[in-house]
Each structure stands twice: as C-alpha cells, then as structure tokens.
Chains A and B, each alone.
Chain A
Amino acid sequence: MKKILVACGAGVVTSTAAMNKLQEELEKRGISTDEYKLGQASVAEVQSLASQYDMAITTTQYDNDAIKIPVINGLPLLTNIGVDTVIDKVVKELGL
C-alpha cells in the first residue's frame, strides 16, 4: 500500500481540493483507492510526517533538502494545467 501525503499552507482547504482531484485522476487510470492511501497535512508538518509516506504532493512552494521521499508540486491538481504530468510522476514514482 503506497502512501501519499497531500499538503498545503494550512493543511485544510486547498489540500482537500487537491486530494479529490488526485483521487479522480488516478481513478481515470484505473487505480482504485485500494491501491494507495492519502494523508493530509500542512506544509509545516511535511518534514515530521515524511518518514510515514512514500511521496508528498504540495500545492505551495516547498523546498526542503531534508525530505527523503519524492516531493511533487501539486498546483496542477487545482488549475488542471499540466495535471497529466503530475499524475504520470505519481504513477511512475510509486509504481502504481
């Protein structure tokens, strides 16, 4: 079971929208919610939670060399522009 952490500024509103889009896009590719698990957090929490996840998707700018898991910018999940590239990365990195 792959675990993806979705983070935004406060970890509440924007990440909720991004999580839903992510779920919808993965479903379009035949990847059901049985195959992965989503978590939600503020970007400030990403570092402390990273070890429990396989990947983090942030809607805000996020640079932190201390993070050992792949971090993807998830803004396209909100704007829909370039969303395929984001989903490609998620699928590839996690082998979904």
Chain B
Amino acid sequence: MSILSKELVFSQVKASTSDEVIHYLAEQLHQDGKVKDTFEQAVKDREKVYPTGLPTGKIAVAIPHTNVEYVNEAAIAFATLAEPVKFHNMAVTDQTVDAQVVVMLAMKNPHSQVSMLQKLMALFQDQALLAQLQQITDNEQLFKIVSEHI
C-alpha cells in the first residue's frame, strides 16, 4: 500500500517560515493519526540541529522529519508552497535554500520504504516535474500527478 494519501497532499500552502510549514504539515499528520502529538516539536527541534533543505536546483525542496518513535504509522505529507520558504541547507547549515516543495516524512521503518524514498529522491531531481507541480492549484490534481511518480 502506498503511504501517500489524498488527504495529505496540499497545493500552494501559504507560510512564511519553515516552522510554519512544519506546524501545518505536522498538524495534518497528527489529525490523521499518523504521528504522536510530540512529533511536531521533535521535527522542529531536529530541523534546528540537522536541517533538511536540499539544494536541488532552482526549485529547492525540504524533507523535515524526525525519529521513528514519534510515528504511529508510516506516512508522508506532501506540499507545494505559494511562496518559497527558507530552510537551512542539510550539508552546509549556515546556508539556506528557497524551498518550494516540502515533504514531511513520517517513517516507521525506512528500509521497508526504500523504493518510495528512491522515487521521492528521483522526483526531487526532476526540476521540470517540480515546476509542473508548483503550477498546480488543486490538491486532488497534485495528488494525482505525485502518485504517478512515487
């Protein structure tokens, strides 16, 4: 079963900081019962120490996540942003990337989700596809296209 669900795909999310994006997506995951109520804070704390911005090109992405103990059931929350939001660069933490796609990963056992992770990474490496996703304004349409790729 795919861990991507229609209820957890969001187009054109409005946020001005990475904390706001994290709050929004963590809340959605929590409401859906996928994560514990401590998940959001754990993701925020971890983001400060080990940021998750990926400099994938003109359209950068971020993959906020935390340890498996905060997760009830494997899921991802997928969002495109109305305006780019700064996330710190995973490998060079004093730099930032302008994230336009944010995928919050709630993993229970990543090794059983390897193929999904690989497809997700392939999607991040496809700037044309990211640009296409960025244009979509309808959650259902975004879900449809994303689910064709992961």
Contact = CB atoms under 8 A, between A and B. Distances in A.
A79 B110 contact: no
B41 to A, nearest CB: 15
A13 B90 contact: no
Contacts of B117: 13, 16-17, 20
A12 B108 CA distance: 10
Interface in A45-73: 59-61, 73
30 contacts: A9-B49, A9-B50, A10-B65, A10-B66, A12-B67, A12-B68, A12-B107, A12-B110, A13-B63, A13-B105, A13-B117, A14-B52, A16-B110, A16-B111, A16-B117, A17-B117, A17-B118, A20-B114, A20-B117, A21-B121, A43-B50, A60-B50, A60-B93, A61-B92, A78-B90, A78-B121, A79-B54, A79-B55, A81-B56, A81-B125
Interface of B: 46, 49-50, 52, 54-57, 63, 65-68, 90-93, 105, 107, 110-111, 113-114, 117-118, 120-121, 124-125
